[in-house]
Each structure stands twice: as C-alpha cells, then as structure tokens.
Amino acid sequence: MKQPHIYCNNQDVNPCVILPGDPERVGRIASFLTKTKEIAYNREFRTINGFYEGIPVTVTSTGIGGASMAIALEELIQCGGRYFIRTGSAGACQSGIAIGDLIISSGSVREDGASRMYAPEGFPAVADSEMLQLAVEFCRQSNFTYHVGITRSHDSFYIDDEAERMALWQKMQVLASDMETSALYVIAALRGVKAVSILNNVVLYQGDLKEGISEYVDQAGSADTGEKREIEIALKTLKAIVSQK
C-alpha cells in the first residue's frame, strides 16, 4: 500500500535516501545520478530513484519545516529507508562562515515544535556518529570549506525577537540555523535509523535573510557551488556507509 503523503510503497524506496527541502532540488540531484526515474510527486514530496556508482539511491524532498520533514521521514522509513542525509540550506550564526560553506551538524538545538511532539526537550538531537565522520572525511579529502558543530532548528524566520535569539546562539557557538535537522535527528534515533545533516550556508551572519534566500533560489554564485558540494559529499557518504556493511 502506498504511503498517504509521499505516495511510495516499499518497492519504491532504497535504503539510502537524500532529503533536500525544495522539490526543484530533487531534479538537480538527479544530474549526479544515472538511470533516474521519477516515482511520485505529491504536495511538497517529490521522489526519484537513481544510481550513484552502482549504489541505488532515493531522493525525496521534504518541504519546509520539521512537521513536513517528520511526515516524509516516517513514511520513508515505513518503505525501507535506513540511511538518511539531509542536503539543506542554512543561515550562519557565526561571522566566519561564508556563503557556500558546508556545515555538518553534529547536533541541533531543538527550537522547533515537531521534535518536541516526539520526545521531551532534554532528549538530544544528534547525528549518527559514523555518517558524521564519513561526511567530515570526504569534505577534508575534497578540500571543501566546512564547519562541524551544533546547529539550531526553528519554526519561523519572522518572529519578533529573531535578532535577539540569533545573538544568543551566536554567543553559544551555534554554527547556523535551519528548520528540519532537529526533527530528522530525533525521529531517526527513535526509529533506529541513521541520519546526518549537511547544510549549505546561504545567509551570512547578520546578513539580509530575504536577499540571501532569493539569490540561492536563483542559483547564484557561491550558494550554487555549495549545493553541488553538499550533494557530492552526501552521495560519497551513502556509498561508503553501505559498502562497509
């Protein structure tokens, strides 16, 4: 039976899954794969299958926010997904992070609502250690500029005290903000699957949020390079993790 939101069944989903947010990014990831096939497209959830150096890979977009991530992840797990890498965008919380730099989230501050529906606030949202180490090593081998550490997931860009919150997390050495990593990490831990989040920085710390996101949507400059790099690292990590089994 097909899942009600992603419209996939257990014949449609491979163990290795890449999770971009934007459905348009699914098509751009397809250019890194061979023998691609579109499986389903419902609402924000677009799914394709393909191969990376002989490894079957599923790509499913999760839309915006933790609630949408939770729906996609739960249904993908029901269909057989086991290794998940989020290839998303983020806004820097530190001044030393440039546009297009990769941010590998070792853990996430749970300022979102979705993860709190699953576990109390004291439950950690952390990456799978093996996948984290592989992603870091491939960034190093590729000579990509990257940062590893704690990120923050939230539910809105437009809250009244966003600047004050960002200043707090900047002092606490949080690297960047996104909207989905906390939900990914908490649900993955509860369901016994592996996950890591690789983020492409698209907004400078204290930069113009709307301008940064608009330029990324238009596929401009360094943000475009960062997206290609996070996809490359995600695919190498997935191949390595399954080759070790």
Q: Which CATH number fits domain 16-243: 3.40.50.1100, 3.40.50.1580, 3.40.50.1400, 3.30.230.10?
A: 3.40.50.1580
Tell me what pLDDT residue 86 has: 98
Q: pLDDT under 50 in the chain at which residues?
A: 212
Tell me what pLDDT residue 213 has: 53
Tell me what pLDDT residue 214 has: 56
Question: pTM above the 0.85 mark?
Answer: yes
Tell me what pLDDT residue 219 has: 53
**Burial call 140-174: b when 16+ CB within 10 Å, e when fewer:** eeeebebbbebbbbbeeeeeeeeeeebeebbeeeb
